[in-house]
Chain A
Amino acid sequence: MSTVVAFSPGKYYEDAQKMLEKKDLLGFVSKIGIAVEASMNDPEMKARATYLESKGLMEFYQHTKAIESIDEALKYNTGAEAFELRKLQATARGFLGKFNQALNTYKVLLDEANDNIAVVRICINLSWAYLMLNRENPEELNFEEIKKYLDQANQYFNEIPDFLKVKLLNNLSVFHFYKGDFDKSISVLKEAVNYAEEKDIPRLYNNLAEVYLEYREQCGIEITSISDYLDKSETIASKYDDKLAMAVSFFIKGKLELMDDQMFTALDTLFLAFTHFTEEEAYSYSLEVLLKINEVVSNHKAECMRIMQKKLNNKARSNPYYEKIFKK
C-alpha cells in the first residue's frame, strides 16, 4: 500500500507545485519528472504534469528545455491549455532571441483568441517581441505594427486585471520612448505604477530611471529623481529578493555615475551589475555591461586600463559563468 502512495503521480505533482512556489529548480525538476513518468497510464494526469513541467521550466528561464517539454505537453493537452502552451513556446523562442518565430506564432494565436483577455495577452506579447526585435535591430523599427497591437489591446483596458494593465502601459511607454517622446513615455510609466503590486515596482522604477537618463543625456537637464528611483528600486527589489531588478538598477546607476564623471565609482558599480547579471545567468545583460565597461576604458587610457585589467581578471575569472559567456 505504501509503495502505491510513494509512486502516486499526484503526490509528486503536488510536491513539484510546492517546489515551484519555493523557486527550487532542482527540486521541481526532480519531482515533476517523476510525476510525468509515473502518469504514463493516466492521460489526464499526464496532461496536467506535462503542462506544469512546461510552465515551471519557463518560470525558471529554462527556455530550451521548456520548448521540448511543451512539444510533449501538446500531445496531451487541448483547448485553453494548448493555446497557453503554444503562447509559452513562442515566448520561450523570443527569450532565445528568435523574435520572428515568436511573432509568427503570436499572429496565429491572435486569430484564434476567443476572449478579450486572451486578445490583450497576445497583443502584449506581440508588442514585446516587436519592441525587442527593434531594440536589437533599430533599422527594422516598425512603429505602425507596434501601435496597431497596442491600440488593439488598449480598447479592452477597462476590462483587464491590473497586472495586465501594468504590462500594457509599460510596453506603451517603451513605444513612446523609441519614438522619442520622453514626456509621454514617463507619464505612461507613472500611470503603470498606480496599478502595480509592490513586487513589480522595481522594474517600472528602473525603466523610469532609464528614460530620465536618456532624457538627461539628450536634453542636458539635471534630473535628481533618477537616483531616487534607483534607490527605491534597489530597496524593494532587495525585499523581494529580485536579483535581476537589483542588477538592472546597478547598471543604470553605473551609467548615471559615468555621466556625473565619477569614473572609478561607476566602474565599481558596473562590476557589481556584471556580477549580479552573471549570477542570474542574464548573459545578454552581462555583455551589455562589459561593452559599457569597454567604452569607459577606451575613453580613459592608461591608468584606468590597469585598474580595469586587474578587476576584470579577478572578477570575471572567479565568476562561474565566465567560460559560458565567452564560449560563443
Chain B
Amino acid sequence: MKKFFCVLCLVGIMLLGGINVFSGPFPYPDGPYSAQIILIEEE
C-alpha cells in the first residue's frame, strides 16, 4: 500500500514537474539497436 502511494506520488511529481509523456514514432541509430532505452545500471 505504501509503495503504491509512493508510485503515485512519484508519477504525480513527474507530471507536475514537467517531465514529458513522450509520444510519436521512434527514430533509430545505426546498428542492430531498438529504440532508445535508458538503463539504470549499477555503478
Interface of A with B (CB < 8 Å)?
58-59, 61-65, 87-88, 91, 94-97, 121-122, 124-125, 127-129, 131-132, 135-136, 138, 164, 167, 170-171, 173-174, 177-178, 185, 189, 203, 206-208, 210-211, 214, 242, 244-245, 248, 280-285, 287-288, 290-292, 294-295, 309, 312-313, 316-317, 324-328
Query: How many residue pairs bridge A and B at CB < 8 Å?
Result: 141
> Is the CB–CB distance between A317 and B28 below 8 Å?
no
| Chain B binding surface SS class | loop
Query: Closest CB of chain B to A128's CB: distance in Å?
Result: 4
In this complex, the member of B4, B23, B25, B29 whose beta carbon has the largest number of chain A beta carbons within 10 angstroms is B25
CB contacts (< 8 Å) of A316 on chain B: these are 3-4, 7
> Is the CB–CB distance between A174 and B20 below 8 Å?
no
Interface of B with A (CB < 8 Å)?
1, 3-4, 6-8, 10-12, 14-15, 19-41
CB contacts (< 8 Å) of B21 on chain A: these are 288, 291-292, 295
> Is the CB–CB distance between A91 and B33 below 8 Å?
yes
CB contacts (< 8 Å) of A97 on chain B: these are 38
- Closest residue of chain B to A126, judged by CB? B29
> Is the CB–CB distance between B34 and A203 below 8 Å?
yes
A162 CA to B33 CA, complexed, in Å = 16
| Chain A binding surface SS class | helix
CB contacts (< 8 Å) of A124 on chain B: these are 28-30
> Is the CB–CB distance between A294 and B12 below 8 Å?
yes
> Is the CB–CB distance between B28 and A170 below 8 Å?
yes
A164 CA to B30 CA, complexed, in Å = 7
A292 CA to B1 CA, complexed, in Å = 20
A127 CA to B27 CA, complexed, in Å = 8
> Is the CB–CB distance between B30 and A87 below 8 Å?
yes
> Is the CB–CB distance between A203 and B23 below 8 Å?
no
A91 CA to B14 CA, complexed, in Å = 26
> Is the CB–CB distance between A131 and B33 below 8 Å?
no
> Is the CB–CB distance between A177 and B25 below 8 Å?
yes
A248 CA to B36 CA, complexed, in Å = 12
Contacts A135-B24, A288-B21 given; indicate if A125 touches B37 (C-beta within 8 A): no
